[in-house]
Chains A and B, each alone.
Chain A
Amino acid sequence: LAKTTQPISMDSYEGQEVNITCSHNNIATNDYITWYQQFPSQGPRFIIQGYKTKVTNEVASLFIPADRKSSTLSLPRVSLSDTAVYYCLVGRLSGGYNKLIFGAGTRLAVHP
């Protein structure tokens, strides 16, 4: 499974756009990129998943360059409730893979 590298922490202010970049230099051809959000004492919540180019849903956008060695989670106009830990994962559950490796994640703090 490809190892991921994310910033340990980030700070932002309400209403700003936040971009969290994840590096995954050893991503395999069949790997997807998935982002989760976790609040204290809760289970991670799926945010978005992509394979290449750009994916957008009602919560976030995910930008993946052509070489797929990195990805950027974009959160538009964050609010205080977006304060959480964000995990970037690379891999897939099928094809013999059987677990997701969670790194340390990025601790996002949104300030008033």
Chain B
Amino acid sequence: EAGVTQSPTHLIKTRGQQATLRCSPISGHTSVYWYQQALGLGLQFLLWYDEGEERNRGNFPPRFSGRQFPNYSSELNVNALELEDSALYLCASSSVPGIGTDTQYFGPGTRLTVL
């Protein structure tokens, strides 16, 4: 069974540009989560999508947005890039929540570098 996939692996942008990151969840998983991990730091929750809708977002400005498609894949868009947006962006998926199934499976991440 294929795991969570993310593309691209690396992305280099300049300040003010927009970045689009993509994620495909594990087959059968309907929830997708996005996290930001700056170098040497812990994971910061960004966004949660389930069944095509944004369910919650972390403490990030509105220029961080995304969407989930009917096939449950997801995009994360970061507008007006700033230098401090440079980080590893991780996507995770989970199945329909239930007893003992509250586990997120992570993709390999997209390394975004803002110059």
Contact surface of A with B, Cβ cutoff 8 Å:
32, 34, 36, 41-46, 49, 51, 87, 91-95, 97-105
Contacts and interface: CB of A to CB of B under 8 A. Distances in A.
Interface string B53-66: 00110100000000
Contacts of A91: 102
Interface string B19-58: 0000000000001010100000011010010000001101
B42 A43 contact: no
B104 interface: yes
Interface of B: 4, 31, 33, 35, 42-43, 45, 48, 55-56, 58, 88, 90-92, 94, 97-100, 102-109, 111
A95 B96 CA distance: 11
Contacts of B35: 102
Contact of A93 (B42, B43, B58, B102): B102
A100 B58 CA distance: 11
Contacts, number: 64
Given A93-B97, A99-B45, A99-B58, A43 B108 contact: yes
Contacts of B100: 32, 49, 51
Nearest to B55: A98
Contacts of B92: 43
A43 B58 CA distance: 19
Contacts of A102: 35, 42-43, 45
Nearest to A45: B106
Given A99-B48, A99-B56, 14 more contacts: A43-B90, A44-B43, A44-B90, A46-B105, A87-B43, A91-B102, A92-B97, A93-B94, A93-B102, A94-B102, A98-B48, A98-B56, A100-B104, A101-B45
A42 B108 contact: yes
A100 B31 CA distance: 13
B44 to A, nearest CB: 8
Contacts of B102: 32, 34, 49, 91-94, 97
A103 B98 contact: no
